[in-house]
Amino acid sequence: MRRLFLIRHAKAEPSVGRDDYERRLTDRGRADARRVAAALAARKMLPDLLVHSGAARAKETAEIFAAEWPRRVELMEEAGLYDATETMLLARTRALPDARRRVGLVGHNPGLGELATALTGSGAEPEMRRLAAKYPTGAIAALDFSVHRWQDVERKSAMLALYLTPAELEADAD
Protein backbone atom coordinates (compact mmCIF):
# COMPACT_ATOMS: atom_id res chain seq x y z
CA MET A 1 0.00 0.00 0.00
CA ARG A 2 1.05 3.58 -0.69
CA ARG A 3 -0.34 6.67 1.02
CA LEU A 4 -0.21 10.10 -0.60
CA PHE A 5 -0.89 13.20 1.48
CA LEU A 6 -1.99 16.17 -0.62
CA ILE A 7 -1.55 19.27 1.53
CA ARG A 8 -2.56 22.70 0.31
CA HIS A 9 -0.45 25.45 1.90
CA ALA A 10 -2.09 27.26 4.79
CA LYS A 11 -3.62 30.77 4.61
CA ALA A 12 -1.13 33.25 3.13
CA GLU A 13 -0.71 37.00 2.85
CA PRO A 14 -2.56 38.69 -0.02
CA SER A 15 -0.62 38.87 -3.27
CA VAL A 16 -1.24 42.58 -3.78
CA GLY A 17 2.05 44.41 -4.29
CA ARG A 18 4.35 41.43 -3.69
CA ASP A 19 5.91 38.55 -5.55
CA ASP A 20 3.52 35.58 -5.35
CA TYR A 21 6.37 33.12 -4.71
CA GLU A 22 7.46 35.10 -1.63
CA ARG A 23 4.05 35.27 0.08
CA ARG A 24 4.30 34.03 3.67
CA LEU A 25 1.68 32.55 5.97
CA THR A 26 -0.55 34.76 8.06
CA ASP A 27 -0.86 34.21 11.83
CA ARG A 28 -4.09 32.35 11.12
CA GLY A 29 -2.32 30.24 8.50
CA ARG A 30 0.40 29.25 10.96
CA ALA A 31 -2.22 28.35 13.60
CA ASP A 32 -4.21 26.35 11.03
CA ALA A 33 -1.10 24.46 9.94
CA ARG A 34 -0.26 23.55 13.55
CA ARG A 35 -3.85 22.39 14.16
CA VAL A 36 -3.99 20.19 11.03
CA ALA A 37 -0.52 18.75 11.72
CA ALA A 38 -1.55 17.90 15.29
CA ALA A 39 -4.73 16.22 14.02
CA LEU A 40 -2.66 14.02 11.68
CA ALA A 41 -0.29 13.12 14.51
CA ALA A 42 -3.23 12.24 16.78
CA ARG A 43 -4.47 9.88 14.06
CA LYS A 44 -0.96 8.44 13.61
CA MET A 45 -1.14 9.40 9.94
CA LEU A 46 2.30 10.77 9.13
CA PRO A 47 4.34 10.76 5.95
CA ASP A 48 8.03 9.85 5.78
CA LEU A 49 8.74 12.64 3.31
CA LEU A 50 7.20 16.06 2.65
CA VAL A 51 7.90 17.56 -0.76
CA HIS A 52 7.06 21.28 -1.02
CA SER A 53 7.12 23.72 -3.93
CA GLY A 54 9.68 26.07 -2.43
CA ALA A 55 7.21 28.97 -2.42
CA ALA A 56 7.46 30.66 0.98
CA ARG A 57 3.92 29.69 2.04
CA ALA A 58 4.32 26.02 1.04
CA LYS A 59 7.76 25.73 2.63
CA GLU A 60 6.53 27.32 5.85
CA THR A 61 3.52 24.98 5.94
CA ALA A 62 5.80 21.94 5.48
CA GLU A 63 8.17 23.17 8.20
CA ILE A 64 5.31 23.71 10.67
CA PHE A 65 3.91 20.23 9.94
CA ALA A 66 7.33 18.61 10.45
CA ALA A 67 7.93 20.51 13.70
CA GLU A 68 4.57 19.39 15.13
CA TRP A 69 5.14 15.69 14.55
CA PRO A 70 6.67 13.34 17.12
CA ARG A 71 9.08 11.75 14.65
CA ARG A 72 11.38 13.25 12.09
CA VAL A 73 10.12 13.68 8.55
CA GLU A 74 12.39 14.59 5.67
CA LEU A 75 11.65 17.85 3.85
CA MET A 76 12.45 18.25 0.18
CA GLU A 77 11.98 21.23 -2.12
CA GLU A 78 10.81 20.77 -5.68
CA ALA A 79 10.18 23.95 -7.63
CA GLY A 80 8.13 22.01 -10.20
CA LEU A 81 5.25 21.77 -7.73
CA TYR A 82 4.72 25.53 -7.94
CA ASP A 83 1.94 26.33 -10.41
CA ALA A 84 1.77 22.63 -11.36
CA THR A 85 -1.27 21.31 -13.17
CA GLU A 86 -3.09 18.15 -12.15
CA THR A 87 -1.33 16.28 -14.99
CA MET A 88 2.09 17.51 -13.86
CA LEU A 89 1.36 16.54 -10.25
CA LEU A 90 0.21 13.07 -11.32
CA ALA A 91 3.46 12.61 -13.24
CA ARG A 92 5.40 13.72 -10.15
CA THR A 93 3.45 11.30 -7.97
CA ARG A 94 4.27 8.44 -10.33
CA ALA A 95 7.96 9.38 -10.10
CA LEU A 96 8.10 9.24 -6.29
CA PRO A 97 10.78 6.91 -4.90
CA ASP A 98 9.36 3.46 -4.19
CA ALA A 99 11.41 3.31 -0.99
CA ARG A 100 8.98 5.91 0.43
CA ARG A 101 5.52 4.44 1.08
CA ARG A 102 3.99 7.56 2.71
CA VAL A 103 4.70 10.87 0.97
CA GLY A 104 3.19 14.33 1.31
CA LEU A 105 3.07 16.95 -1.43
CA VAL A 106 2.68 20.51 -0.11
CA GLY A 107 1.49 22.75 -2.90
CA HIS A 108 -1.09 24.96 -4.48
CA ASN A 109 -4.50 25.09 -6.06
CA PRO A 110 -5.97 24.57 -8.52
CA GLY A 111 -3.62 21.66 -9.36
CA LEU A 112 -3.53 20.04 -5.92
CA GLY A 113 -7.30 20.01 -5.43
CA GLU A 114 -7.81 18.78 -8.98
CA LEU A 115 -5.31 15.95 -8.40
CA ALA A 116 -7.09 14.90 -5.19
CA THR A 117 -10.39 14.72 -7.03
CA ALA A 118 -8.89 12.95 -10.05
CA LEU A 119 -7.22 10.24 -7.97
CA THR A 120 -10.09 9.54 -5.55
CA GLY A 121 -12.17 6.57 -6.63
CA SER A 122 -13.64 5.39 -3.35
CA GLY A 123 -14.18 6.44 0.24
CA ALA A 124 -16.94 7.85 2.39
CA GLU A 125 -19.43 9.60 0.08
CA PRO A 126 -19.87 12.73 2.24
CA GLU A 127 -16.09 13.23 2.38
CA MET A 128 -15.71 12.65 -1.36
CA ARG A 129 -18.41 15.26 -2.04
CA ARG A 130 -16.74 17.80 0.26
CA LEU A 131 -13.39 17.14 -1.41
CA ALA A 132 -14.83 17.66 -4.89
CA ALA A 133 -16.63 20.86 -3.82
CA LYS A 134 -13.77 22.73 -2.16
CA TYR A 135 -10.06 22.37 -1.37
CA PRO A 136 -9.36 25.33 0.93
CA THR A 137 -6.03 26.54 2.25
CA GLY A 138 -4.66 24.15 4.87
CA ALA A 139 -6.74 21.22 3.60
CA ILE A 140 -5.28 17.73 3.47
CA ALA A 141 -6.40 14.62 1.64
CA ALA A 142 -4.81 11.29 2.55
CA LEU A 143 -5.17 8.87 -0.35
CA ASP A 144 -4.45 5.14 -0.14
CA PHE A 145 -3.38 3.13 -3.19
CA SER A 146 -3.24 -0.65 -3.46
CA VAL A 147 -0.08 -0.60 -5.57
CA HIS A 148 3.50 -1.73 -5.00
CA ARG A 149 5.09 1.06 -7.03
CA TRP A 150 4.21 4.74 -7.34
CA GLN A 151 4.38 4.49 -11.12
CA ASP A 152 1.25 2.31 -10.99
CA VAL A 153 -0.94 5.08 -9.52
CA GLU A 154 -3.94 5.72 -11.79
CA ARG A 155 -6.81 8.19 -11.79
CA LYS A 156 -9.77 7.08 -9.65
CA SER A 157 -7.63 4.35 -8.02
CA ALA A 158 -7.29 5.86 -4.53
CA MET A 159 -9.38 5.33 -1.46
CA LEU A 160 -9.91 8.60 0.41
CA ALA A 161 -8.66 7.73 3.89
CA LEU A 162 -9.03 11.25 5.26
CA TYR A 163 -10.12 14.70 4.14
CA LEU A 164 -9.52 17.38 6.71
CA THR A 165 -9.80 21.17 6.66
CA PRO A 166 -8.82 23.77 9.26
CA ALA A 167 -12.44 25.00 9.44
CA GLU A 168 -13.76 21.63 10.61
CA LEU A 169 -11.03 21.37 13.26
CA GLU A 170 -11.95 24.87 14.43
CA ALA A 171 -15.63 23.82 14.62
CA ASP A 172 -14.68 20.68 16.58
CA ALA A 173 -12.81 22.84 19.11
CA ASP A 174 -15.89 24.99 19.82
Range scoring the smallest mean pLDDT among 12-16, 110-114, 117-121: 12-16
Closest among 173, 107, 170, 171 to 141, alpha carbons compared: 107
CA distance 71 to 93: 23
Q: Give the per-residue pLDDT at 15.
A: 83
Q: Give the orientation angle of helix 166-173 with respect to helix 27-42, to 10 degrees.
A: 80
pLDDT value of position 174: 52
Q: Cα 20 to the chain's mean position, in Å?
A: 19
pLDDT category at 119 given cuts 50, 70, 90 is very high
- Residue 172 scores a pLDDT above 80: no
Whether the CB-CB separation of 118 and 93 falls below 8 Å is answered with no
What pTM was estimated for this model as a whole?
0.96
Give the DSSP H or E segment for 77.
strand 74-77
> Could you tell me what percentage of the chain is helix, strand and coil, using 3-state DSSP and rounding each to the nearest 5?
40, 25, 35
Which percentage of the chain shows pLDDT scores above 90?
Answer: 92
- In this prediction, residues 63-86 reach a mean pLDDT of 96
